[in-house]
Amino acid sequence: MSKRILTIFGTRPEAIKLFPLVHALEADARFDSRVCVSGQHRGMLDQVLEISGVVPHHDLDLMQPDQSLDQLTARLITGLGAVMDAEKPDWVVVQGDTATAMCGALAAYYRKIRVCHVEAGLRSGNIYHPWPEEVNRKVIGSIAALHCAPTEVSQAALLKENVDPATVHVTGNTVIDALHRITAKIEADPSLASGLAELEERFKGKRIIGVTTHRRENFGGGMEAIADAVRRLAARPDVAVIFPVHLNPNVRAVMDGALGGIANVAMIEPLDYPHFARLLSLADLMLTDSGGVQEEAPALGKPVLVMRETTERPEGIDAGTAMLVGTDADRILAEATRLLDDRAAYEAMARAHNPFGDGHSAARICELLAG
Ligand code: UD1
Ligand code: UDP
């Protein structure tokens, strides 16, 4: 009898990191693959569903504007629990550290359904950076029966917390599977990523800086400092900033006010994944507080300045492609300026290095679920 696997996700990064696994489960007769999306994100989730071709069996559609953590959590627990009661899966699969992932694990635990955690064992050691993701991961880590750690660093973090070693496996990060697949899709059909052509023409000859930001712990002062650094950086005539702005209203309000109308700054809508991959390939430098971008940029040899106080992804920093710069505007500006002006410093960071996986993580996870 095939095993019924209920894969649950709700936000853009989870969808990106789980579509390769959903495809692998669907193609494998050992599994009866079911997919539930919470709709924690709407537009940004739908962008990934469309490009990946994943069609969910359940869509809770529960996003509300400027949702609070407690309301979101309450809606998720009851909604996901009801889907589990209907589907009665052998395994629930969750990814990463979002509210959807944490509530999926908790609702499964309440029903004594086994949980597989994809991207397990990431720890910053600080429960307020990233907030609330560090605690979400710990909750999932204490429930999961199968921990798919992307690297040996994350494996070691779980073992340090006395997680049963037999349940922890280094699988690589499925983000690299996703990146490889999307790159192959673009090679086969370049029109999938041709929507930036106008900006590419407008900024010809300039050094492109890609920016993303959205972390809750950066709301307020952190966001304002990031905007200030971007504004001062864009005052250089040799620089252009491409900034797909996250749909969170707390991000938009600050960025629209601080960066609107600046000639060298293109604030644009969130890009679908092929276009974001195109932006990564165009960029000389990425400034971000994103988790996923910290994994993709090293794989592509793009220096990345991480605008956070801590990171649960030290591998990019150890590899020399990423640097933790916090959210002080002067520091962000100084490090970006150094990389733009010091060729040797730039070259030292711009080496493709891939600590996060080989693109075969989804296949490994399938074997673990089958076993
Ligand atoms: C969430 C995750 C975070 C993850 C991020 C990825 C939690 C607590 N946070 O943060 O871990 O890094 O997603 O992007 O799980 N919105 C839209 N349309 C969208 C998406 C968001 O309008 O497609 C707006 C809505 O007003 C929504 C708000 O953004 O209420 C916040 O969304 P939410 O998922 O709660 O938080 P994120 O900051 O996106
Ligand atoms: N991404 C995207 N379009 C964008 C910005 C980001 O497709 O406009 C992708 C990016 O390639 C990465 C993921 O979204 O795979 C990261 O999502 P986000 O930064 O929202 O969340 P995090 O990774 O911090 O949880």
Rounded mean pLDDT of 277-290?
97
114 lines ligand 1 (CB under 6 A): no
70 lines ligand 1 (CB under 6 A): no
Q: Which ligand is closest to the CA of 137, given by its number?
A: 1
Segment 115-150, tens digit of pLDDT: 999 999 999 999 999 999 999 999 999 999 999 999
The per-residue pLDDT for 301 is 92
40 lines ligand 1 (CB under 6 A): yes
The per-residue pLDDT for 40 is 98
The per-residue pLDDT for 354 is 83
Segment 232-278, tens digit of pLDDT: 999 999 999 999 999 999 999 999 999 999 999 999 999 999 999 99
Segment 34-90, tens digit of pLDDT: 999 999 999 999 999 999 999 999 999 999 999 999 999 999 999 999 999 999 999
Place of tokens 């492109």: 208
State the closest ligand 2 atom to the C-alpha of 269, by its place in the atom list counted from 1: 8
Q: Which of 95, 251, 276 to mutate to test the pocket of ligand 2 (most atoms within 8 A of CB)?
A: 276
Between CA 79 and CA 65 the distance in angstroms is 18
- The residue among 82, 75, 70 whose CA lies nearest residue 10 is 75
Tell how far the Cα of 41 is from the centroid of ligand 1, in angstroms.
Answer: 6
The per-residue pLDDT for 20 is 98
- The residue among 41, 35, 82, 31 whose CA lies nearest residue 58 is 35
Asked if the bond preceding 132 is cis, omega within 30° of 0, the reply is yes
Q: Which of 9, 69, 75, 98 to mutate to test the pocket of ligand 1 (most atoms within 8 A of CB)?
A: 98
What length is written for the chain?
371
Q: Say what percent of the chain tops pLDDT 90.
A: 98
Between CA 102 and CA 77 the distance in angstroms is 9
Mean pLDDT score of the chain? 97
- Among 3.30.930.10, 2.60.40.3120, 3.40.50.300, 3.40.50.2000, name the CATH number for the domain at 196-350: 3.40.50.2000
Structure tokens at 134: 């560090």
Nearest CA to ligand 1 atom 20: 41
The per-residue pLDDT for 351 is 86
Tell how far the Cα of 201 is from the centroid of ligand 2, in angstroms.
Answer: 24
Q: Which of 213, 267, 293 to mutate to test the pocket of ligand 2 (most atoms within 8 A of CB)?
A: 293
The fourth-level CATH superfamily of domain 3-173+357-370 is Glycogen Phosphorylase B; (3.40.50.2000)
Residues near ligand 2 (Cβ within 6 A): 12-13, 16, 175, 212, 214, 244, 270-271, 273, 276, 290-293, 296
**Domains 3-173+357-370 and 196-350 agree in fold:** yes
Segment 300-313, tens digit of pLDDT: 999 999 999 999 99
Partnered with residue 322 across adjacent β-strands are 304
The per-residue pLDDT for 179 is 97
Tell how far the Cα of 40 is from the centroid of ligand 1, in angstroms.
Answer: 7
State the closest ligand 1 atom to the C-alpha of 98, by its place in the atom list counted from 1: 15
DSSP string over 165-222:
GGGEEE---HHHHHHHHHHHHHHH-GGGGGGGHHHHHHTTTSEEEEEE---GGGTTHH
Q: What ranges do the domains of the chain cover?
A: 3-173+357-370, 196-350
Q: Which residues are catalytic?
A: 97, 119, 133, 214, 216, 246
Tell how far the Cα of 119 is from the centroid of ligand 1, in angstroms.
Answer: 19
